[in-house]
Amino acid sequence: MRKHHNKLYYSKYQFKNIFKMPWAGILYPTTDQKLLEMIQGKDKSVRYLNKEWYKTSPDVIKLAQFILDHRTKMKFRLQQKYAIFYSNKSLAQLLIKTFWDNWYGTKSIDPKYNKLGKNTIGCKRLPHDKYQYQVHLKKDVHQHITKQERENLWSFLERNVDNCLVTNKYVLDYLEGKYPHCYHGYFYVSEQKMLTPIYMLAQKAIDKVIKYVEIKNESNKKVKRT
């Protein structure tokens, strides 16, 4: 699972379940083919994980089957010691029931944060504690704007250093004129009012704008196994 975890959590799935499964890494890569081989007994993997040896077991088979059966309804991460699942309420309950002995804890959020929009990401804190917007440049942006438009954009960003931040070295080199090409990247803007002049100066360069919404910790509900 490679998508932004905050977006998965706050924008699509309301529940996050955590399970102690240090052996779950044996399922990598979690393709349908790999999982089927585990279930059918064709994969007799033995792996050294987290300083211990793990092999295919009934628990591994059960997890493989669950992922196969519900993959389209959830997202998951198999970490070093924990398996984390993002889902709706009904699947979260089924997860806990199925893997009760491994259940470690559950986090849920207020339903009002459950639909933030396509280009909106919920987060516990804003990027660099300040910036609400992430402006993504188009692929091969050097082919979309002129030298003058690039210079005008950089001049604006330089004049507004308190509200704009370029962290990507390649984007910075391109905007400063040190390198003629830029293949991808983004920069940060602190306030919505800064977006209007940026669009006016270099609209052809912009692919999309991601908005970050800070979700206060007190809106989270946590349940931990005792």
Choose among 209, 215, 217, 177: nearest CA to 190: 209
Nearest to 141, CA basis, from 88, 100, 180, 89: 180
For 130, the 3-state DSSP assignment is coil
CATH topology of domain 120-214: Alpha-Beta Plaits (3.30.70)
Phi then psi for residue 219, to 5 deg, are -80, -15
Q: pLDDT tens digit string along 143-202? A: 999 999 999 999 999 999 999 999 999 999 999 999 999 998 999 999 999 999 999 999
56 contacts 147 by C-beta, under 8 angstroms: no
Q: How confident is the model at residue 115 (pLDDT cuts 50, 70, 90)?
A: low
The full set of domain ranges for the chain reads: 5-109, 120-214
pLDDT at 22 exceeding the cut of 90: yes
User: Using CA atoms, how far apart are residues 10 and 47, in angstroms rounded to an integer?
Assistant: 34
- pLDDT (tens digit per residue) in 68-78: 999 999 999 99
Query: The domain at 5-109 falls in which architecture?
Result: 2-Layer Sandwich (3.30)
Task: Return the amino acid letter for 28.
Answer: Y
Domains 5-109 and 120-214 agree in fold: yes
